[in-house]
């Protein structure tokens, strides 16, 4: 398979699945979307029809990844159980709030400590998400990190 084909050219978040977001969460969501479009690795097992469009949504408490070709032909609709991600999402959103609050009032050493914890949790969550995609969709760690940020945006309402 061609490396240039194993990537996303666009990611859409289902508006009906989106939770109301704080200013900071909205900023993180926009950055994740921008960064995903700039650089990603996204391979659909057994397919060579990329690059792909991805629509993320919540469906009956599960994460839905609807992958299609640029002309709109569905490649795969993959559902991921949220059970493995729920606690990570809750912890990640909590530590993000702590981080944004600390920026205003805490000492630089405290901010750095919270940020290190936030990044570590983000990496752990990205690995869990990558594993949850199983052998259907393969992503690199940076793509998984950005996708996890978007999953957090969907989770609260899902």
Mean pLDDT of residues grouped by 10 in the chain (158 residues)?
78 79 81 93 94 93 94 95 92 91 93 94 96 93 95 70
pLDDT value of position 29: 86
The residue segments making up the domain with residue 33 are: 3-155
What secondary structure letter does DSSP report for 84? Answer: T
pLDDT value of position 28: 85
pLDDT value of position 157: 46
Q: What share of the chain is helix, strand, coil (3-state, %, to 5)?
A: 50, 20, 25
Give the span between the Cα atoms of 29 and 47, in whole angstroms: 28
pLDDT value of position 91: 94
pLDDT value of position 26: 82
Structural domains in the chain (count): 1
Q: Which residues pair with 81 in a beta bridge?
A: 62
pLDDT value of position 1: 38
pLDDT value of position 154: 81
First to last CA, the chain: 34
């Amino acid at each position: 398979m061609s490396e240039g084909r194993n990537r996303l050219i666009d990611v859409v978040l289902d508006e009906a699945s989106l939770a109301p977001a704080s200013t900071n969460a909205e900023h993180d969501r926009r950055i994740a979307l921008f960064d995903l479009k700039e650089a990603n690795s996204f391979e659909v097992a057994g397919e060579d029809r990329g690059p792909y469009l991805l629509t993320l949504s919540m469906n009956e408490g599960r994460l839905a990844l609807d992958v299609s070709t640029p002309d709109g032909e569905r490649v795969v609709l993959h559902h991921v159980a949220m059970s493995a991600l729920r606690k990570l999402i809750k912890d990640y959103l909590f530590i993000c709030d702590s981080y944004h609050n600390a920026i205003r009032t805490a000492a630089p050493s405290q901010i750095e400590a919270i940020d290190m914890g936030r990044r570590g949790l983000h990496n752990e969550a990205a690995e869990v998400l990558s594993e949850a995609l199983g052998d259907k969709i393969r992503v690199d760690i940076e793509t998984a990190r950005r996708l996890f940020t978007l999953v957090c945006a969907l989770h609260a309402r899902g």
